[in-house]
Amino acid sequence: MDERLEIYNNKMKKTYEHLDGDYQGIRAGRANPHVLDKLRVDYYGTPTPIQQVGNVTVPDARMIQIAPWEKSLIKAIEKAIMASDIGITPSNDGSVIRLTFPELTEERRKDLVKDVKKKAEESKVAIRNIRRDGNDAFKKLAKAEVSEDEIKELTDELQKLTDKYIKDVDKLMEEKSKEILTV
């Protein structure tokens, strides 16, 4: 691939990967440890990911269990979970914290699907903006004595990349929507 196209390919890929990461944080009725990925616990004055201060397991389909390596961290972990947008109240027995995910209602599932579609649309807009930036950069190459055929070829390749990533985003959105709507 032309190094001039590689820049835009990498940007589109990062946009896609960001969307995928966002989708992993959306819970679909099943307990998914990725909902904790963005949470940080105050560990001796340092914001630390929950996965680095305890063992995170999924003992059954609707529960996440966090066993901190230090009992003193239980309050800090509970505080981080309460301050987050997960929307689940943690319970603890003195040694482990449990997050029990309620069954999603039909209305909540539809709201989640709307959110999934909105995030996908934002990603598609970002990909199209990357294409626009690329096309603008290629037009400037015309002044730098690059042939019109070469510029046309670059813009065509950039369009193919854009189409590929838009299709990938749509596929990811369909998979996540299907996952959410599956009871």
The predicted structure's pLDDT at residue 183: 63
- How many other CB atoms are there within 10 angstroms of residue 90's CB atom? 18
Domain 33-100, CATH among 3.30.1330.10, 1.10.3720.10, 3.90.79.10, 3.30.1360.40: 3.30.1360.40
Question: How many angstroms separate the CA atoms of 129 and 154, rounded?
Answer: 16
Distance separating alpha carbons of residues 42 and 143, to the nearest angstrom: 54
pLDDT score for 72:
86
Hey, where are the domains in the chain? 3-25+105-181, 33-100
Mean pLDDT by 10 residues, the chain (183 residues): 88 94 76 81 87 88 88 87 81 88 82 91 95 90 80 91 95 90 75
Say whether domain 3-25+105-181 belongs to CATH 1.10.132.20: yes
Among candidate residues 98, 102, 57, 93, the one with its CA nearest the CA of residue 81: 98
pLDDT of residue 29: 65
As a whole number of angstroms, the distance between CA 149 and CA 58 comes to 56
- Write down the pLDDT at residue 28: 67
Angle between helices 106-141 and 3-24 (to 10 degrees): 170
- The pLDDT value given to residue 125: 96
- CA distance linking residue 46 with residue 50, whole number of Å: 12
pLDDT at residue number 19: 92
pLDDT at residue number 127: 95
Nearest CA-CA partner of 112 in 36, 26, 17: 26
Query: Rounded to whole angstroms, what are the CA distances from 26 to 44, 64, 92?
Result: 29, 14, 24
Answer whether 3-25+105-181 and 33-100 agree in fold.
Answer: no
pLDDT of residue 102: 78
Placement of tokens 């901190």 in the chain = 68
